[in-house]
Amino acid sequence: MILTVTLNLALDVTYEVPRVDWDGVNRVGAVHRRAGGKGVNVARVLAALGHDTLVTGLAGGRTGHAVEADLRSAPLRHALTPVAGDSRTTLTITEPHTHPHEPGRSGRTALFNEPGPHVTSGELTAFTRRYEKLLSGAGAVVLAGSLPRGVPAGFYATLAAIAAARGVPAVVDADGEPLRHAAEGRPAVVKPNADELARAVPGGTLTEAAGALRERGAGAVVVSMGADGLLAVTGEGTFRARMPYTVHGNPTGAGDALVAGLALALVERTPWPDTLRRAAALGAAAVATPVAGEIDPDVYADIHPQITVS
């Protein structure tokens, strides 16, 4: 079982709009509402691949109840800790890649994230106790996404250290201060994108910045670079995964699908070249779908064998 932690759970709302007019009225072509947050998206991808998962995190208020209802209907196994504050809503607005009257214009995606509830120290203590119990049945744990207000920036490092003490490898996908601190908990893998890594470790190349996170305690650093593929700085060397072509669509859940591949590799002890090829293919397959947490199996099957790793 892979445990996924989403401390800032959300109700994800996606609007598919034929063409966004930022100064006028827009007619929405399709609406999707579902439980979200990075860890939930990871769990959806793992479940689609047939792997056992368990979603944990913090949920509260009417939005939290809507999130739990969607997890039940998915169905995704979950064990959430209640908080008094209302969980957040996120809004994604996507345009199609092709525009019949503007063939040279590519589609765009805009994401609006609410900050989430304020979490008390007592609620955080209750979550940590539950987390420690859930680790007993986990082969790996994913710690992903933003932290709600009231949660210390070093909390992912704390959770990773608790997992490591129990022999459970952790993947951390975070940004800003949580990313800077994460390596101190000695996670097996840290997965920033290129911009997140540059903010966390300014100056130098991506390889040097990834190496700096390894020096702070991370076992490996896998950097997602969109159409440019992946960079992995590991204890076995530095690897590059290159994409054969660009997949167009909604990139919102691409990193989450990629993280699902990394978590699977920890459980299955997959060699790095195979790990990166599968993770990159899952990320591309996620871009081809309209909502985060899904993958297009046809895109995955086509692009996977064409990804080169050096």
DSSP string across 145-191: SPPPBTS-TTHHHHHHHHHHHTT--EEEE--HHHHHHHGGG--SEE-
- With pLDDT > 70 as the criterion, what percentage of the chain qualifies? 97
State the pLDDT at residue 127.
98
**Cβ neighbours for 215, distance < 8 A, ≥ 6 positions apart:** none
Q: Tokens at residue 129, please?
A: 């106790």
Average pLDDT over residues 196-206: 93
State the pLDDT at residue 103.
47
Residue 64 has pLDDT above 90, yes or no: yes
State the pLDDT at residue 101.
46
Average pLDDT over residues 127-151: 97
Which CATH superfamily, name and number, covers 2-9+37-85+118-309? Ribokinase (3.40.1190.20)
State the pLDDT at residue 291.
85
Q: Tokens at residue 87, please?
A: 């969980």
* Closest-CA residue to 288 (of 298, 278, 276): 298
pLDDT tens sequence across 18-33: 988 889 999 999 998 9
pLDDT tens sequence across 220-230: 999 999 989 99
Average pLDDT over residues 271-292: 95
Mean per-residue pLDDT over the chain, rounded: 94
* Closest-CA residue to 99 (of 176, 40, 21, 41): 21
> Residue 68 CB: number of other CB atoms within 10 A?
18
Give the model's confidence band at 100: pLDDT under 50 very low, under 70 low, under 90 confident, else very high: very low
State the pLDDT at residue 94.
86
Residue 290 has pLDDT above 90, yes or no: no
Residue 177 has pLDDT above 90, yes or no: yes
Q: In what order do the strands lie in the sheet with 109-113?
A: 30-36, 10-16, 88-94, 109-113
Report how far residue 220's alpha carbon sits from residue 50's, in angstroms, rounded to the nearest whole number: 26
Average pLDDT over residues 92-114: 70
- What backbone torsions phi and psi does residue 90 show, to the nearest 5 degrees? -115, 150
Average pLDDT over residues 191-217: 95
Give the model's confidence band at 106: pLDDT under 50 very low, under 70 low, under 90 confident, else very high: low
Specify which of 95-104, 152-161, 196-205, 285-294 reaches the highest per-range mean pLDDT.
Answer: 152-161
Is-catalytic flag, 298?
no
Residue 255 has pLDDT above 60, yes or no: yes
Helix, strand, or coil (residue 133): helix
pLDDT tens sequence across 81-95: 999 999 999 998 988
Given the residues 12, 70, 173, 256, select the one marked as catalytic. Answer: 256
Give the model's confidence band at 61: pLDDT under 50 very low, under 70 low, under 90 confident, else very high: very high
Average pLDDT over residues 194-201: 95
For 70, which DSSP code? H
Locate tokens 């086509």: which residue? 302
pLDDT tens sequence across 208-252: 999 999 999 999 999 999 989 999 999 999 999 999 999 988 888
